[in-house]
């Protein structure tokens, strides 16, 4: 099965699954709770079904199974999916605490970080035992040998990417659209370097995300929740690791990086000076407070991601 066919199948699966999932989430009262500290106009989103990321995760898994039937699935692909699913489970627990137990902040930061770190270490140790852990990082056309130091770096990338995508998920369609572009980038890289696992899984993920975006674009009918955002963050982190180029994620995931840095800067500034650098963080809320519409912010973020992916892709040509 070609990656293009897999893209179409994944898209169709998600288009079928989401319309069934959304009413179930609404019936179960899995509605988004809007924090008081957020923009006041976000209150209209109160009660919108969340945990919709389950839909595109199901679509991805079903498409991987179909691909496996045709003998197209390798161990690397399976390992990446398992790793991303472990992070999705952490996100599900977080969503459950927020939605069902009515604790808006969900898991405590240290609990989430500890679970993510354990999962990332476990995945990389398995990869090491299977002999598929890269030992080099590609930087500026050069390969830098890291040997055993690669695993700590990989853990940092997986956990960091997961949390960065989670922080970015604050506007309708923002993560779905930017991550769709990032997945297309990885699909292209997989094709260029001859890694069919990377090419196939990236294409499958892109197809499911494009379908999910139809339900998540403004005004959103469903949110992906931490279940979806932690899954996607781990997914792109693992894809970057297994193309031997985690540094590329800084560029193709520039929106994630900027959003995360805005939170770090805001916290440090407030603690040291008592003043805020941004009107609100993450950065997308700052632009909202400046009067930008959600659709405009998402469009610019997607364009930036597209440009950065294009630039990164040129380094492989």
pLDDT tens profile 155-192: 999 999 999 999 999 899 999 999 999 999 999 999 99
Alpha helix (H) ranges present in 134-224?
150-168, 174-193, 196-216
d(CA 212, CA 18): 7
Q: Residue 126 belongs to what domain range?
A: 3-314
- Neighbour-count burial of 52, counting CB atoms closer than 10 A to its CB (0-12 exposed, 13-18 middle, 19+ buried): buried
Q: Give pLDDT, residue 247.
A: 87
- Would you place residue 142 in the very low, low, confident or very high pLDDT band (cuts 50, 70, 90)? low
User: Between helices 53-69 and 225-242, what is the axis angle to 10°?
Assistant: 40
Q: Give pLDDT, residue 149.
A: 76
Q: Give pLDDT, residue 47.
A: 75
Q: Give pLDDT, residue 226.
A: 94
Q: Give pLDDT, residue 317.
A: 66
Q: In terms of residues, how long is the chain? A: 317
Residue with tokens 């960091």: 160
Tell me the CA end-to-end span of the chain in Å, nearest whole number.
Answer: 25
Number of structural domains the chain divides into: 1
Region of 250 on the Ramachandran plot (φ > 0 left; ψ -120 to 50 alpha; else beta)? alpha
Count of CB atoms situated within 10 Å of the CB of 224? 31
Per-residue pLDDT for 70 more than 70? yes
**Mean of per-residue pLDDT scores for the chain:** 90
pLDDT, tens digit (0-9, with 9 covering 90-100), for 221-272: 999 999 999 999 999 999 999 998 888 999 999 999 999 999 999 999 999 9
Average confidence (pLDDT) over 104-128: 90
Average confidence (pLDDT) over 105-118: 90
- The residues facing 144 across adjacent strands are 137
Q: Give pLDDT, residue 286.
A: 94
Output the CA–CA distances (angstroms, integers) from residue 193 to 173, 186, 317, in the order listed: 30, 10, 10
């Amino acid at each position: 099965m070609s990656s293009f066919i897999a893209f179409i199948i994944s898209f169709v699966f998600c288009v079928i699954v989401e319309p069934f999932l959304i009413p179930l989430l609404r019936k179960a009262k899995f509605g988004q709770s809007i924090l008081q500290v957020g923009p006041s106009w976000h209150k209209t989103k109160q009660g919108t079904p969340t945990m919709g990321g389950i839909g595109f995760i199901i679509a991805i898994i079903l498409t991987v199974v179909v691909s496996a039937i045709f003998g197209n699935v390798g161990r690397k692909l399976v390992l990446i999916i398992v790793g991303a699913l472990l992070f999705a489970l952490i996100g599900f627990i977080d969503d459950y605490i927020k939605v069902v137990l009515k604790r808006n902040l969900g898991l405590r930061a240290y609990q989430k970080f500890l679970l993510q770190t354990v999962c990332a270490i476990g995945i990389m140790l398995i990869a090491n035992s299977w002999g598929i852990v890269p030992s080099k990082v590609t930087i500026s056309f050069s390969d830098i040998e890291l040997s055993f130091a690669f695993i700590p770096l990989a853990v940092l990338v997986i956990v960091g990417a997961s949390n960065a995508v989670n922080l970015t998920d604050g506007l309708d369609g923002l993560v779905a659209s930017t991550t769709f572009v990032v997945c297309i980038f990885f699909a292209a890289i997989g094709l260029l370097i001859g890694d069919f696992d990377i090419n196939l899984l990236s294409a499958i993920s892109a197809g499911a995300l494009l379908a999910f975006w139809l339900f998540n674009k403004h005004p959103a009918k469903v949110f992906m929740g931490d279940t979806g955002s932690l899954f996607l963050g781990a997914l792109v982190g693992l894809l970057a690791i297994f193309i031997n180029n985690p540094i590329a994620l800084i560029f193709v995931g520039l929106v994630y990086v900027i959003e995360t840095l805005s939170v770090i800067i805001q916290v440090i500034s407030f603690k040291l000076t008592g003043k805020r650098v941004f009107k609100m963080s993450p950065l997308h809320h700052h632009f909202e407070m400046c009067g930008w519409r959600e659709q405009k912010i998402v469009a610019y973020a997607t364009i930036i991601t597209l440009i950065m992916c294009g630039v990164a892709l040129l380094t492989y040509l």
